[in-house]
Chains A and B, each alone.
Chain A
Amino acid sequence: MSESVSALGGASHEGFVRAEDMGLRAMITLRGDLASAKLRKAVKGATGLDMPEQRRIAVADDRSVAWMSPDELLILGPYSEAGTLRETLEKGLAGEHALVADVSDARALLRVSGGTGVREVIAKLCPVDMAAEAFGPGQFRRTRMAQIPAAIWMPDEQSVQVICFRSVAEYAFNLLRNAAAPGSETGLFI
C-alpha cells in the first residue's frame, strides 16, 4: 500500500490571514437528477444530510454536500471513508441513471482563515462579490481564481475553504499566500 499525501503536505503560511493546505479529504462527485427521490435518499443515507439548495452547501460534523451544478453534487467526508461513501452511494443509486466517482485524489482543499480579511483575499482573486450581504456561510460558489477554476465556501465568517484541481494546488496556495501578504490589506470588507 502506498501512503497517500496531500498536494502540499500540509503547508501553511502566515500573512494578514493564514493560508494552508487542509490535507486529504474524501471527495465524491455525484451526477444525476437532483430532484429524484431515490437520489435524495441515497445522499441522506450516505451523509445524513438533506439536499442543499441551489449554490449552497449542507454541512454536518465531518460531512458536507455541495451543490455544484443543476445535475451535480460534491460530497465531502473523512479521507479514510472515501471508499465507503462511494459504495454506500452506489448501492443507494442502483438502477438510477447516475454517476458516482471518487475524485479525492484529483482535488486539493485549501483554506484561508484568521479574520474578516479572508474576504478580501478571495476578492483579489475571484470575480465574486465578497461583501457580507452577497456571500457568506452556507453558500457555495464555483468560480475562477486567477487563472484556474475553484470552488469556495465559508465555514464561518473568519475562514474560506477552497477546492481546486490537485495539479494546480501549489499555484492556488501561492495565490492565496500572495493575496494575504502583510501590508497588502485593503480593509475593504471591515
Chain B
Amino acid sequence: MLILTCPCCGVTAEETEFHGGGEAHIKRYGPGSSDDEFHGYLFEKVNPKGVHFERWRHANGCGKWFHAARCTVTLEVFGTYSAQTTEPPQDIKDKISAKRPGWSWREFA
C-alpha cells in the first residue's frame, strides 16, 4: 500500500484518499515548439523501475496538488513537497541519495 503525506494539510493517508496526476516536472511545449518537442512532452514518459517523481492531488482531502518522490518497486515514499516548483528540492534529493546512492531521474541526480 502506498502511504502519502500531503504537504499542504499534513494528513497521512493511503493512496485512495489521493489521486495520481502522472509524472512530475514535465516541461510543457505549446505553440511555437517543434513537432519533436511536442511529441516528447505528450508521449515520452520515463516510467522507471525505482526512483520516480510524480504529481498527486489530495482529492478527497484538502484538494491541493503536491509532488511526491517515491520508489516504484517498494512503494517507499522518500518525501512529498510543494507543487510550486519545477524541480525536486535539495532536501528531497538528499533523502533519496541516502537510500538509493547513485540514483538519477531525467536531468536530476
Q: Which residues of A contact B (CB under 8 A)?
A: 54-55, 68-70, 72, 127-128, 141-144, 149
Interface of chain B, main secondary structure = loop
Using CB atoms, name the residue of chain A closest to B64: A69
For A70, the chain B residues whose CB sits under 8 A away are 8-9, 62, 64
What number of residue pairs across chains A and B have CB atoms under 8 A from each other? 37
For A54, the chain B residues whose CB sits under 8 A away are 9-10
Question: Contacts A127-B14, A127-B16, A127-B17 known; A142 to B8 CB distance under 8 Å?
Answer: no
Question: Contacts A142-B60, A142-B61, A142-B62 known; A69 to B16 CB distance under 8 Å?
Answer: no
Using CB atoms, name the residue of chain A closest to B61: A142
Min CB distance B80 to A, Å, is 14
Known contacts A54-B10, A69-B64, A72-B63; 17 additional CB pairs below 8 A are A54-B9, A55-B10, A55-B11, A68-B62, A69-B9, A69-B63, A70-B8, A70-B64, A72-B62, A127-B14, A127-B17, A141-B11, A142-B60, A143-B17, A144-B16, A144-B60, A149-B60
For B109, the chain A residues whose CB sits under 8 A away are none
For B60, the chain A residues whose CB sits under 8 A away are 142-144, 149
**Pairwise interchain contact B62-A128, C-beta atoms closer than 8 A:** no
* Interface size bracket, B side: 10 to 19
Question: Contacts A127-B16, A143-B61 known; A69 to B8 CB distance under 8 Å?
Answer: yes
* B98 on the A face (CB < 8 A): no
Q: Which residues of B contact A (CB under 8 A)?
A: 8-11, 13-14, 16-17, 59-64
Q: In the bound complex, what is the Cα–Cα distance between A141 and B14 (angstroms)?
A: 14
Using CB atoms, name the residue of chain A closest to B62: A69
Q: In the bound complex, what is the Cα–Cα distance between A143 and B59 (angstroms)?
A: 9
**Pairwise interchain contact B13-A55, C-beta atoms closer than 8 A:** no
Q: In the bound complex, what is the Cα–Cα distance between A68 and B64 (angstroms)?
A: 11
For B11, the chain A residues whose CB sits under 8 A away are 55, 141, 143
A-B contacts, 21 listed (Cβ < 8 Å): A54-B10, A55-B9, A55-B10, A55-B11, A68-B62, A69-B8, A69-B62, A69-B63, A70-B8, A70-B64, A72-B62, A72-B63, A127-B16, A128-B13, A143-B13, A143-B17, A143-B61, A144-B16, A144-B17, A144-B60, A149-B59
For B64, the chain A residues whose CB sits under 8 A away are 69-70
For B14, the chain A residues whose CB sits under 8 A away are 127
For A149, the chain B residues whose CB sits under 8 A away are 59-60
For A128, the chain B residues whose CB sits under 8 A away are 13
The 6 closest A-B pairs by CB, nearest first: A69-B62, A144-B60, A149-B60, A142-B61, A127-B14, A127-B13
Using CB atoms, name the residue of chain A closest to B13: A127
Q: In the bound complex, what is the Cα–Cα distance between A143 and B17 (angstroms)?
A: 6
